[in-house]
Structure formats: structure tokens, C-alpha cells
């Protein structure tokens, strides 16, 4: 059996870096906290808990007396790092560098007097974090209607950024609507293409194999999307959470199997599945 594993399967660069940061801090010892779950994967969070890492909420900060607080890849508003340090705790910032770049743009441009507009989902922690780096209140726009209703003072300079995971086509549409309003706009396309690359690679592999395995959480929307894309290319596509769910009953005509995984699937699960398929078929 030939197995093709997608290079982009599983954690993106920023999440991998953040998870590794937590394990490195565990090695150093002391009380370790993560500001929110480091990743939406129960197995990883449980493993870290067993190693003494606690997940905290913003309201827990005030009661902590010592230790290290790790900021996850989504990033946080600027004042959060300040509060952590004021409390006498160590702040280890594992914000993804691509998100950090947005913070820097927003901080500098708002300081220069520009109105910050973030194209993104207002309830998402990444967007809340970005808002917290603007010197003046930022505006978040998610829909065409919001873009059409935008009402800034005439002549105001605007700096427009995007949430890293926002859909590129939708971003372009919203930018065009805002541009037509005649403002003086500088646009920073801050979309990260990790998700798109994962989807494109999954599609390509699924089109070349006889069976495809997609690994990820049942509640993970990006994994569901991967499954949908693969299923369109390869009828023999299965969706599993871990190796335990794998019930392969391949027809004899299956010679090549492809494997991909959603953004919050740890590497060891992908490896397990890959080794199993290689050895048993």
C-alpha cells in the first residue's frame, strides 16, 4: 500500500510553535498557565494538565501569585501582557508572528492618527486581541452591509487589516465596497494562507488516491471542510478522530491511500494512523 501524507496536515506553523512553547516551559518547571486553551484539542489540553499546566481565564489573573502565563497563537490585547507583568508573573508570548505583525501595524498606524478597520469576526479572540493594540477604538467589519454602512468622517485616513483566517475573496469584496466610499485607505492584506494551502493539498492528494483518510475533531469546522473537499475528489474518504475510529475495509482495488488532518490534530495521532495503514495493508 502506498501512503501519501499531506505535508500541511495538522498544526499550522503558529499553533505548532505555541504548543511547543508550553512543553518547553513545562521542562523549565514552576507554575505554568495558558491564557485560554492553547489549542482546541482535548487530548493536548489534557496531556498538558497532567503535566501541571492550568488553563486560566482573564478573571483568574488577579489571584495568581507566581508563575508563567503563556499567550496562545491568537494573541491578546496589549494591556493583558502589561497586567500579567504587573502581577509579578512572567509573560511568555507565543502569539503567532503573523498575528504579531498585525498588532504592530495597528499600533503604529493608529498612533499616526489613522482609523483602524479590521475585516474579521468580532467575537473571535484574535480580532479582540488586534483591537486591543489600537490607540483609538477600532471598527470591525464582517459583512457587506457593515461595509456599506461604514461612516467615518470625510478625509479621515483609514488603515485596513484582516483577521488571519478570513476568506480572501470576501475580504476583497469588502475592501472594494469601502474603497468606493472615497476614503484615503491603506490596505494590509494580513490573511494567512495556511488553511488554504492545507485545503489545496488535500484536494490534490484526494484526486490521486484510491482512498483518503481525514483526521480531526468532530466539532472542528476546518476538518469538516477538509472532509467535504476530499469526498468530492475521492468517494472512498473517511473521517476519523483517532486511530481507534479507523475501520478500514478497503476494496481490493485500493493501492494508494492519502492522509490529511485538520488544524488542531496533533502530530502523534497523524503518525499513529500513518504507521498503522503502512503496516497493516
Interface contacts to ligand F3S, rule CB under 6 A: 12-15, 73, 96, 98-99, 164-165, 192, 194
For ligand F3S, give the closer residue by CB, 17 or 78.
Answer: 17
3-state SS track over 240-280: ECCHHHCCCCCCCCCCEEEEEECCCCCHHHHHHHHHHHHHH
Instruction: Please state, in angstroms and as integers, the Cα–Cα distance from residue 244 to each residue in 145, 241, 261, following that order.
Output: 46, 8, 15
Instruction: Please state, in angstroms and as integers, the Cα–Cα distance from residue 65 to each residue in 30, 69, 87, 93, 204, following that order.
Output: 12, 11, 7, 19, 51
Grid cell 492545507 is found at 198
Lookup: cell for 22? 508550553
Handedness of CA 101, 102, 106, 112 (dihedral sign): positive
- Give the bridge partners for 91, in sequence order: 69
For ligand F3S, give the closer residue by CB, 11 or 183.
Answer: 11
For ligand F3S, give the closer residue by CB, 192 or 226.
Answer: 192
Which among 194, 195, 141, 193 has a CA at the least distance from the CA of 170? 141
Beta carbon of residue 165, minimum distance to ligand F3S (angstroms, whole number) = 6
- E-assigned strands of the chain? 2-5, 32-35, 53-56, 68-71, 90-93, 115-119, 139-141, 157-162, 184-187, 211-215, 237-240, 256-261
For ligand F3S, give the closer residue by CB, 165 or 220.
Answer: 165
d(CA 36, CA 265): 18
Catalytically active residues are: 126
Three-state DSSP class for residue 8: coil
Beta carbon of residue 100, minimum distance to ligand F3S (angstroms, whole number) = 9
For ligand F3S, give the closer residue by CB, 12 or 116.
Answer: 12
Lookup: cell for 196? 488554504
Instruction: Please state, in angstroms and as integers, the Cα–Cα distance from residue 113 to each residue in 139, 159, 165, 242, following that order.
Output: 14, 10, 27, 50
Residue with the shortest CB distance to ligand F3S: 14
For ligand F3S, give the closer residue by CB, 34 or 73.
Answer: 73
Amino acid at each position: 500500500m502506498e501512503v501519501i501524507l499531506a505535508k500541511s496536515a495538522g498544526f499550522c506553523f503558529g499553533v505548532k510553535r505555541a504548543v511547543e512553547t508550553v512543553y518547553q516551559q513545562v521542562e523549565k518547571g514552576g507554575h505554568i498557565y495558558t491564557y485560554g486553551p492553547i489549542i482546541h484539542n482535548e487530548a493536548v489540553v489534557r496531556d498538558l494538565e497532567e503535566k501541571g499546566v492550568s488553563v486560566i481565564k482573564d478573571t483568574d489573573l488577579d489571584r495568581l501569585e507566581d508563575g508563567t502565563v503563556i499567550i496562545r497563537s491568537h494573541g491578546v490585547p496589549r494591556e493583558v501582557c502589561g497586567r500579567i507583568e504587573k502581577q509579578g508573573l512572567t509573560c511568555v508570548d507565543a502569539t503567532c508572528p503573523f498575528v504579531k505583525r498585525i498588532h504592530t501595524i495597528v499600533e503604529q498606524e493608529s498612533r499616526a492618527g489613522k482609523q483602524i478597520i479590521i475585516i474579521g469576526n468580532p467575537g473571535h479572540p484574535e480580532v479582540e486581541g488586534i483591537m486591543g493594540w489600537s490607540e483609538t477604538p477600532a471598527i470591525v467589519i464582517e459583512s457587506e452591509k457593515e461595509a456599506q454602512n461604514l461612516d467615518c468622517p470625510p478625509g479621515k485616513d483609514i488603515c485596513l487589516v484582516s483577521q488571519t483566517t478570513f476568506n480572501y475573496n470576501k475580504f476583497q469584496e469588502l475592501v472594494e465596497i469601502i474603497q468606493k466610499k472615497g476614503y484615503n485607505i491603506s490596505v494590509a492584506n494580513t490573511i494567512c494562507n495556511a488553511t488554504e494551502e492545507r485545503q489545496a493539498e488535500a484536494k490534490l492528494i484526494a484526486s490521486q488516491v484510491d482512498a483518503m483518510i481525514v483526521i480531526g475533531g468532530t466539532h472542528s469546522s476546518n476538518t469538516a471542510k477538509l472532509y467535504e473537499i476530499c469526498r468530492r475528489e475521492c468517494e472512498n474518504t473517511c473521517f476519523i478522530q483517532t486511530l481507534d475510529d479507523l475501520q478500514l475495509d478497503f476494496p481490493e482495488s485500493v493501492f494508494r491511500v492519502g492522509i490529511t488532518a485538520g488544524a488542531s490534530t496533533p502530530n502523534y495521532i497523524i503518525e499513529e494512523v500513518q504507521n498503522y495503514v503502512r503496516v497493516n495493508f
